[in-house]
């Protein structure tokens, strides 16, 4: 059964200093409620919106990066609905209708899933203002006797990016969101690590069923999880002979299920019309060219460059490039270290693992490429073993240590003292007579003994030397020169 998925993604332009239509700071994220507001974003009587030129430019940049057709004029419209988080009871947005047009349309984005390239079409992009936020004294809408409104978010510049239903699996949907977020990050318009910087709604239908809309997906991982759940649910309904009805469902990120949202009794009429307070903004070719010139290298171009310049395969290049900070770090390291593949592997695996394990926000850190390079070089020069390198990685990640200096100071370099290693190996032999017998029969079983030495030296034993010593001792046992 074929699955069709379309996405509607709301992204804040977090790069801006001020909101979309007033000069109030837009970095409201950790501010107390209703402290990031002014008469304009509170919709006080008599105020007027004035478009933030930087926001328009950022929006145009996104449209160019997503290969969109750009409207000759940016027309803002009023979308009317009453809701307490909306100070004017209309939202300044965009619409496709007589005298109205989204500022960007008909774009596309390429994603790679399991090595297969795919084009996802973008239907349109709107630029609009974010509403405020409702909060509840008890934390729940149902048990609270009243709700509270925080207008800090009100008026923050938002893009609404709508795709065609071109994705056929949750994995593809996640890949799309990841790619989109990477592009936004490369453009420097959105810091996707900020909570609330993006929200995803997904439309999903299975052959033979109606389209279901899932709202409130707040992270890239949840895009995949929510869709997996929903597709499974729809399959079960269809398999048991039921019908999938057209409805709106809510993603509950804690219970990891989608739940139906009470349907509207009637189709809402938003009474769109062009906002008379905002004359259309003319988009000239010259302006677009100027914006295009300011655009940085985008992920696709960088992936291609990584494969050419560093000889990486597309898989590694893709992983590095989709996290801009990681790709930047890779390139910094690559200036000092030329085994690019080894560098890429260590960054993608151990380094990244520790970044996650140590709960570090990689975008807020200034990384020390020298530390990573010093680790790889210490390994190359035989100063430390692979195992020691792995053990030192958290210190590289957390403290950015210079590995060579560190092992000198801590005297934790590799143990290459043959006599010392031999005495440790003997100890291992005595403690594990059965393993010695096994190793005499099966040469592969010597790994257990080597591992024993490593354990006793906390990984500092020179692995090659240890193997040599273990083999030599085994020979001695076999010949009867050594008894244990």
* Pairing between β-strand 273-274 and β-strand 257-260 as defined by DSSP bridges: unpaired
Q: Is 276 in the site for another protein (CB under 8 A)?
A: yes
**By CB under 8 A, what part of segment 451-480 binds another protein?**
none
Here's the x/- map for another protein, 59-98, by CB under 8 A: it reads as -------------------x-x-xxx--xxxx-------x
Q: Is 420 in the site for another protein (CB under 8 A)?
A: no
Query: Which CB, 133 or 305, lies closer to another protein?
Result: 133
CA end-to-end span of the chain, whole Å? 66
Backbone angles phi, psi at 4, to 5 degrees: -125, 130
- What are the DSSP calls for 319-359, one per residue? HHHHSHHHHHHHHHHHTT---HHHHHHHIIIIIHHHHHHTT
Task: Give, in degrees to the nearest 5, the angle at Cα 216 between 212 and 221.
Answer: 95
**CA pair distance 343, 328, nearest whole angstrom:** 13
Q: Is 48 in the site for another protein (CB under 8 A)?
A: yes
- What are the DSSP calls for 176-224, one per residue? HHHHHHHHHHHHTS--TTSTTSEEEEEEEEETTS--EEEEEE-SHHHHH
**CA pair distance 66, 164, nearest whole angstrom:** 13
| Nearest distance from C-beta of residue 160 to another protein, angstroms | 20
| Nearest distance from C-beta of residue 148 to another protein, angstroms | 10
- What are the DSSP calls for 449-473, one per residue? HHHHHHHHTTT-B-HHHHHHHHHHH
C-alpha torsion sign, points 253, 254, 258, 262: negative
Q: Is 137 in the site for another protein (CB under 8 A)?
A: no
**CA pair distance 424, 458, nearest whole angstrom:** 12
Helix (H, G, I), strand (E, B) or coil at 134: strand
Here's the x/- map for another protein, 96-125, by CB under 8 A: it reads as --xx--------------------------
Query: Which CB, 87 or 165, lies closer to another protein?
Result: 87
Q: Is 266 in the site for another protein (CB under 8 A)?
A: no
Q: Is 49 in the site for another protein (CB under 8 A)?
A: yes
CA dihedral 80, 84, 88, 93 (to 10 degrees): -50
Query: Which CB, 99 or 311, lies closer to another protein?
Result: 99
Q: Is 39 in the site for another protein (CB under 8 A)?
A: yes
Q: Under rule CB under 8 A, how many of the chain's residues touch another protein?
A: 34
Stretches 40-48, 180-188, 240-248, 292-300: which one binds another protein (CB under 8 A)? Answer: 40-48
| Nearest distance from C-beta of residue 270 to another protein, angstroms | 8
Please report which helix (H) or strand (E) contains residue 418, including its range. Answer: helix 418-431
Backbone angles phi, psi at 240, to 5 degrees: -85, 15
| Nearest distance from C-beta of residue 44 to another protein, angstroms | 7
Query: Which CB, 207 or 269, lies closer to another protein?
Result: 269
Q: Is 51 in the site for another protein (CB under 8 A)?
A: yes
Query: Which CB, 50 or 301, lies closer to another protein?
Result: 50
Q: Is 302 in the site for another protein (CB under 8 A)?
A: no
Of 30, 269, 286, 361, which lies in the binding site for another protein, with binding defined by CB under 8 A? Answer: 269
| Nearest distance from C-beta of residue 51 to another protein, angstroms | 7
Residues lying near another protein in the complex (CB under 8 A)? 39, 42-51, 78, 80, 82-84, 87-90, 98-99, 145-147, 149, 269, 271-273, 276-279
């Amino acid at each position: 059964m074929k699955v069709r998925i379309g996405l509607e993604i709301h992204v804040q332009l977090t790069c801006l200093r001020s909101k979309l239509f007033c000069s109030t700071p837009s970095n409201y994220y950790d501010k107390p409620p209703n402290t990031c507001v002014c008469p304009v974003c509170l919709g006080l009587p008599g105020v007027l919106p004035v478009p933030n030129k930087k926001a328009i430019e950022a929006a145009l940049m996104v449209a160019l990066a997503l290969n969109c057709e750009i409207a000759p004029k940016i027309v803002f419209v009023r979308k009317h609905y009453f809701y307490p988080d909306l100070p004017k009871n209309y939202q300044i947005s965009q619409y496709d209708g007589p005298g109205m047009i989204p500022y960007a349309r008909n774009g596309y984005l390429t994603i790679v899933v399991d090595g297969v390239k795919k084009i996802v079409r973008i239907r349109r992009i709107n630029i609009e203002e974010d509403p405020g936020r409702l909060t509840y004294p008890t934390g729940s809408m149902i048990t609270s006797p009243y709700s509270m409104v925080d207008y800090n978010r009100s008026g923050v510049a938002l893009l609404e990016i709508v795709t065609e239903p071109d994705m056929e699996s949750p994995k593809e949907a996640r890949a799309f969101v990841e790619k989109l977020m990477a592009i936004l990050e490369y453009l420097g318009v959105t810091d996707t690590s900020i909570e609330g910087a993006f929200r995803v709604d997904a439309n999903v239908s299975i052959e033979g069923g109606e389209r279901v809309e899932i709202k409130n997906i707040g992270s890239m991982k949840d895009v995949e999880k929510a869709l997996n759940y929903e597709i499974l649910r729809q399959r079960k309904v269809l398999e048991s002979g039921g019908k999938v009805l057209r409805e709106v469902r809510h993603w509950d990120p804690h219970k990891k299920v989608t739940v139906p949202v009470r349907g509207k009794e009637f189709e809402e009429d938003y009474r769109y019309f062009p906002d008379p307070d905002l004359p259309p903004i003319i988009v000239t070719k010259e302006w677009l060219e100027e914006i295009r010139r300011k655009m940085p290298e985008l992920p696709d171009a960088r992936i291609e460059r990584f494969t050419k310049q560093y000889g990486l395969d597309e898989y590694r290049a893709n992983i590095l490039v989709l996290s801009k900070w990681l790709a930047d770090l890779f390139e910094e390291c690559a200036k000092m270290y030329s085994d690019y593949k080894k560098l890429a592997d260590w960054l993608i695996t151990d380094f990244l693992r520790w970044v996650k394990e140590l709960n570090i926000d990689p975008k807020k850190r200034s990384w020390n490429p020298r530390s990573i390079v010093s680790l790889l070089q210490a390994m190359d020069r035989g100063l430390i073993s692979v195992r020691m390198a792995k053990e030192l990685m958290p210190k590289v990640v957390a403290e950015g240590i210079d590995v060579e200096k560190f092992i000198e100071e801590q005297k934790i370099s590799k143990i290459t003292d043959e006599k010392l290693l031999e005495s440790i190996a003997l100890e291992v032999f005595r403690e594990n007579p059965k393993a010695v017998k096994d190793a005499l029969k099966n040469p592969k079983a010597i790994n257990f003994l080597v591992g024993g030495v490593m354990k006793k030296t906390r990984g500092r034993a020179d692995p090659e030397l240890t193997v040599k010593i273990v083999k030599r001792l085994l020979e001695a046992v076999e010949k009867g020169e050594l008894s244990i």
